[in-house]
Amino acid sequence: MKKISIKGGMITKQIIMVIATFFALYPVIWLISIAFKDKNQYLANKFFFSWPLQFTSFESALKGGKFFLWFMNSTVMTIGSVILCTIIAVLAAYAFAKMQFKGQDLIMNILIALMVVPVVVLIVPLFILYTQTKLMATYPGIIIIYAAVCLPFSVYLLTNFFKTIPHEIIEAGIVDGCSSFTILTRIIMPLSGPPITTLIIVNALWIWNELLLALVFLPKDNLRTLMVGITVFKSKYNLEIPTTMAGLLLTTIPMVVLYIVFQKFFIRGLTAGSIK
């Protein structure tokens, strides 16, 4: 009797997971299947792949959208912002964790509070500031904003990690005559590979996928990021669904490849800072 109920439980669980996985994956499978259709195939079959696979939608997507340019823009902005943010975060976290200065706790508390400020609250004043100062529609302009938005969380996370590095190691460094900076680069940084990698991935993913700031602060065709490009592309090809899907698939592939390669870091990053 008991054995049967355990088996029954196993089957129920498998059924639940299969259904859940189907719902999770179907939109993505659907995207792929539609991208490989031409218009008539889509009208004939909206559910799944049609044979033979057609590549015409990719041709028209590549012709109609500047995917390469958008891709490069997103790459430049993401890399620039992540580098800026990481450098500042490492320096600031080092100061918070290993030095003593006036107002330390106060600044840390302000930083924690800033983590929850909605990004949209900042856009009106920054919009006005940027139109005055020529930072509007420039790479440096948006990179500064992205880096600043990422900073509170980054500093908080790294400070917590740096605090776990034992003082003895640093004191040994001081005895050996290291300056603060060499302690940071020679002792602390090599010990902090995993958290810094996690941080870089989390921030890069966020910036890459960000839409609102990119829409407001890059109002120029040749500066569009991939995410803004998609929305423009979509409204242009609203009636040619396979073409839109082909475009979306082109933008999705690099991300999914990165996800599968760096799966471990992604998952660690998702939960970073929340588990004590």
Partner 1 sequence: MIAILLFIYGYALVKVFDFSFRRIRGITGVFVGFDNYKFVFADPVFNQSVLNNFKLFLVIPFIIFFALIFAVLLFEKIRGWRFYRVSLFLPYILAIPIAGTIFGYMFTKNGVINEILRAAHLSALAIDWLGDPKYALWTLMIIILWKEIGFGIALFLARLMSVDESIYDSASIDGAGWWGKLLFITIPQLRNIITFFIIITIINMLSWVFAYSYTVTMGGPGRATTVLELYIFNKLARSQTPNLGMASAASVILLLITVVFIVISYRVRRRGELVE
Within residues 33-52, the interface with partner 1 by CB under 8 A covers 46-47
Provide DSSP, 72-118: HHHHHHHHHHHHHHHHHHHHHHHHHHH---TTHHHHHHHHHHHTTS-
Q: Is residue 183 within 8 Å of residue 174, measured between CB atoms?
A: yes
The residue (of 176 and 194) whose beta carbon lies closer to partner 1 is: 194
Torsions phi, psi for 136 (to 5 deg): -60, 140
- Which of 14, 104, 109, 179 is in the footprint of partner 1 by CB under 8 A? 14
Q: Is residue 228 within 8 Å of residue 215, measured between CB atoms?
A: yes
Nearest distance from C-beta of residue 20 to partner 1, angstroms: 6
Nearest distance from C-beta of residue 106 to partner 1, angstroms: 12
Q: Is residue 62 within 8 Å of residue 233, measured between CB atoms?
A: no
Stretch that binds partner 1, among 55-63, 126-134, 163-171, 174-182 (CB under 8 A): 126-134
Binding to partner 1 by residue 121, rule CB under 8 A? yes
- Which of 144, 157, 183, 184 is in the footprint of partner 1 by CB under 8 A? 144
Binding to partner 1 by residue 244, rule CB under 8 A? yes
Residue 232, SS3 per DSSP: helix
Binding to partner 1 by residue 117, rule CB under 8 A? yes
**Minimal CA–CA distance to 255: which of 201, 211, 196?**
201
58: amino acid identity, one letter: F
- Which of 196, 199, 202, 205 is in the footprint of partner 1 by CB under 8 A? 205
Binding to partner 1 by residue 53, rule CB under 8 A? no
Helices 226-236, 67-98: crossing angle, 10 deg rounding: 150
Residues in 157-196 that interact with partner 1 by CB under 8 A: none
- Which of 69, 122, 170, 191 is in the footprint of partner 1 by CB under 8 A? 122
Residues in 55-114 that interact with partner 1 by CB under 8 A: 88, 91-92, 95, 107, 111, 114
- Which of 72, 119, 172, 189 is in the footprint of partner 1 by CB under 8 A? 119
Nearest distance from C-beta of residue 90 to partner 1, angstroms: 10
Binding to partner 1 by residue 16, rule CB under 8 A? yes
Binding to partner 1 by residue 132, rule CB under 8 A? yes
Binding to partner 1 by residue 21, rule CB under 8 A? yes
Q: Is residue 228 within 8 Å of residue 221, measured between CB atoms?
A: no
The residue (of 69 and 114) whose beta carbon lies closer to partner 1 is: 114
Binding to partner 1 by residue 151, rule CB under 8 A? yes
Q: Is residue 89 within 8 Å of residue 199, measured between CB atoms?
A: yes
CA distances (Å), origin 201, targets 160, 236, 275:
18, 32, 18
